[in-house]
């Protein structure tokens, strides 16, 4: 199966144009799509519902959208009737197979006095695959500093680790089965997970070590048994290789942008040996980021470990 993550920068390309057509064209061949910076009803992007627009352009994909930032954008029409509308900015998950369930989690927010600091979140979807259901996450971490990202990463890792023990979006029985609360079967919460998104940190950073484990000069990367692995490395690349954005803030020189790999796909250990190929789409021009693609073997002949 083909997985892709793409920070679409609300459809704003390097040429200064807003264009959802080229965003959709860049990801349409994927089986699972994780998007960040999808917005609804912002003036800058034409006061359109980008989530609905992308869904219309990719009609063969199931989808869920969750705002991280949600504000009033209601108005009264020409007849004086209230039109309830929300100005939103958030995450979108799309898949050719059903998204069995989804949950959304706010991440710690830094209350900056002057710098622009917005609410960030983590969106989870349980996606059906031929090998069994898989948890898929899309996330966008703070752009401000290492100190604002580390609490978000720690929260994200805790959510990913504890999910199987919590059970599905609903679990257990109900004292009155006829009440309708248990309509359909109990949704799964599988052990194996794929975590994709714009992490806003490069390899070799403290944040990267927090996700994949510390580096030992004698023994290499110390990945935890319940941790996450970088698919870029699992596919045979060096950690330091690759560029997904040329607009990363240089931590050593304020005001300067550098090219770096800051968009990732991490997987739980049970999926690492199923990673077949990764690539960065250097041709896409719809954003200041590049789509990051991962091929994972999820054939029905190789059921996932529990």
pLDDT digits 0-9 by tens, 100-134: 999 999 999 999 999 999 999 999 999 999 999 99
The token pair that represents 166 in the structure block: 């919590």
Mean predicted confidence (pLDDT) in 22-31: 98
Q: How many CB atoms lie within 10 A of CB 283?
A: 8
pLDDT over threshold 90, residue 250: no
pLDDT over threshold 80, residue 249: no
Spatial separation of the C-alpha atoms in residues 35 and 6, rounded to whole Å: 5
Full set of structural domains in the chain with CATH = 2-74+82-170+185-296 (3.60.10.10)
pLDDT over threshold 90, residue 142: yes
Mean predicted confidence (pLDDT) in 182-210: 95
Burial of 72 (C-beta count, 10 Å sphere; 0-12/13-18/19+): exposed
pLDDT band at 306 (very low <50, low <70, confident <90, very high): low
pLDDT at 255 (0 to 100): 74
């Amino acid at each position: 199966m083909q997985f892709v993550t793409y920070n679409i920068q609300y459809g704003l390309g390097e040429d200064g144009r807003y264009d959802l057509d080229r965003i959709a064209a860049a990801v349409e061949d994927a089986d699972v799509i994780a998007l960040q910076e999808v917005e609804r009803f912002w003036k800058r992007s034409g006061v359109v519902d980008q989530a609905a627009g992308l869904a219309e352009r990719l009609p063969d994909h199931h989808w869920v959208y969750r705002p991280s930032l949600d504000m009033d954008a209601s108005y009264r029409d020409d007849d004086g009737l209230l039109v309830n509308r929300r100005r939103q900015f958030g995450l979108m998950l799309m898949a050719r197979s059903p998204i069995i369930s989804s949950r959304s989690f706010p991440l710690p927010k830094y209350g900056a006095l002057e710098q622009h600091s917005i609410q960030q979140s983590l969106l989870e979807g349980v996606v059906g695959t031929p090998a069994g259901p898989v948890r898929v996450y899309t996330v966008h971490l703070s752009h401000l500093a290492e100190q604002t990202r580390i609490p978000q990463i720690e929260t994200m890792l805790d959510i990913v680790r504890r999910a199987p023990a919590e059970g599905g979006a609903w679990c257990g029985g109900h004292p009155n089965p006829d009440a309708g609360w248990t309509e359909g079967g109990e949704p799964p919460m599988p052990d194996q997970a794929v975590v994709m998104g714009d992490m806003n940190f490069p390899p070799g950073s403290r944040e990267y070590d927090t996700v994949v484990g510390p580096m030992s000069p004698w023994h290499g990367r110390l990945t935890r048994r319940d941790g996450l692995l970088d698919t870029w490395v699992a596919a045979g690349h060096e950690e330091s290789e690759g560029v997904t954005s040329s607009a990363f803030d240089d931590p050593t020189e304020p005001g300067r942008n550098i090219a770096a790999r800051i968009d990732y796909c991490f997987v739980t250990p049970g999926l690492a040996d199923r990673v077949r190929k990764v690539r960065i789409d250097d041709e896409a021009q719809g954003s200041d980021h590049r789509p990051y693609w991962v091929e994972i073997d999820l054939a029905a002949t190789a059921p996932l470990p529990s």
